Amino acid sequence: MGKLSYKEAGVDIDAGNRFVETIKPFVKSTFDKNVIGGIGSFAGAYELPSGYKEPVILAATDGVGTKLKLAIDAKRFDTVGIDLVAMCVNDLICNFGTPAFFLDYYATAKLETNEASAVVKGIAEGCKESECALIGGETAEMPSMYQEGDFDLAGFAVGIAEKSEMNRIDRVKAGDLLVALPSSGIHSNGYSLARKLFFEKLNMSFDTQIEGEHLIDILLKPTRIYVKTFKALKNQINALAHITGGGIVENLPRVLPQTLNAKIEKEKIRVLDIFKYMSHHVEEGEMYRTFNMGVGMILVVSPENVDTVLDQSDGYVIGSLEEGEGRVQLI
C-alpha cells in the first residue's frame, strides 16, 4: 500500500496557491493608503485613520444565505461576492461606522479556481463600491464537510465611528420623516421562501420571464450598497435602518425609542415587480416580515433636512414618526 497524500484526501495545496496568485490583482485594487503590507501574511494590517476625537471600532459579519444555492445551481458566481460585502457594510453604517476594511471566508468541498476567483472578484467590486479595503481572507477545502460543487461564504466588515455620533436613538423625534432608499431587488434575505415558491410550488425555471426579465437575473441581482449615500448625507440623518430579514416591521423599530411609532403609508412604497408577483401567492403580512418590498434602507430625517436628503439621493418619503410604543404601523 502506497503512502497517502493530502491531495488524495481531497485537499489540493497547489490549487490553493494558484488561487491566491489569481486573486491578488482583485485584492490589491481595493487597497488604500491605510493598508500596511501586502497579501499572504498571517493577518491583515490597517492603520487607523486620523481625524477622530474618540474613535470606536465597529464590526459586522454576515453571509448571503440560500441565495448562494441559486448562484451555485445557475453556475453564476460574479454577484454573490457583492452581496457578501453589502450585507456587512450596510449594517455597519446603521451605527454610523465608516467601513475601513473587509475580510472573507470561503469554504468548499473542492476548490474550483475559476469559480472562487469570480466570487472574490465580486467581493473586491463590493469593497470598492463601499470604499473599504479587502485586506485578508481564508479559503478552506473541506471535502468531508460539503457536497461536491457546494461552497459557503462569510464576510467580516470593520469600520470606525466617532463615539459621540453612535447613539442615534436620542436624536430621533416625533415628527421626523421616514425616507426610503430603493432596493435593487430581493437583496439577500427570504430566499428559502422565494426558492420554494418559484421552483417547487410554481415549477418555474431560471429562464421563466417575469415582466420581460429572466427569473434567475431577477433573483441574482446583487444587494445594493448604501455606503456612499450614507457618507454624503450623514449630517442630515438622525438614524438609519437596514431592511433585511424581518422586513420593515422588524428592522425599523431597532432605531426607534420606546416612546415613538413609525407610521408608514403602504401605498407610498414603490414595491418592485418581483414582490407584486410573489404577493399573489404569499400573504401580505408574511411578505412584509420576510422581504424588503423594494425598500433597502430607511432614513429617519428631521423635517428641515428632508429636501436636502431627497435632492441628494433617490429616496422618497413613506411615513413619519409619532408618539407611541416603539413599533411600526403599516396603514
Domain extents in the chain? 13-165, 169-330
Percent helix, percent strand, percent coil in the chain, to nearest 5: 35, 25, 40
pLDDT at site 209: 95
Following DSSP, what letter does each residue of 255-284 receive, concatenated?
A: GS-TTEEEEE-GGGS---HHHHHHTTTS-H
- The interaxial angle of helices 80-93 and 67-74, nearest 10 deg, is 160
Confidence of residue 4 (pLDDT cuts 50, 70, 90): confident
For residue 187, which of 116, 113, 264, 292 has the smallest C-alpha distance? 292
Whether pLDDT at 42 is above 90: no
Q: Just give the CATH number of 13-165.
A: 3.30.1330.10
Higher pLDDT, 176 or 7: 176
Higher pLDDT pick, 7 / 220? 220
Residue 229: what pLDDT? 98
CATH class of the region 169-330? alpha beta
pLDDT of residue 16: 82
**In the predicted model, what is the mean pLDDT of residues 257-277?**
97
Q: Check residue 2 and give its pLDDT.
A: 75
pLDDT tens digits for range 47-100: 999 999 999 999 999 999 999 999 999 999 999 999 999 999 999 999 999 999
Mean pLDDT of the chain, nearest integer = 95
* Prediction pTM value: 0.96
Non-local (6+) Cβ contacts of 137 within 8 A are 103, 104, 105, 106, 120, 123
32 SS3 class: coil
More confident residue, 128 or 27: 128
pLDDT for res 1 = 60
Q: Please state, for a pLDDT cut of 90, what percent of the chain lies above it.
A: 87
d(CA 290, CA 154): 21
Q: How confident is the model at residue 8 (pLDDT cuts 50, 70, 90)?
A: confident
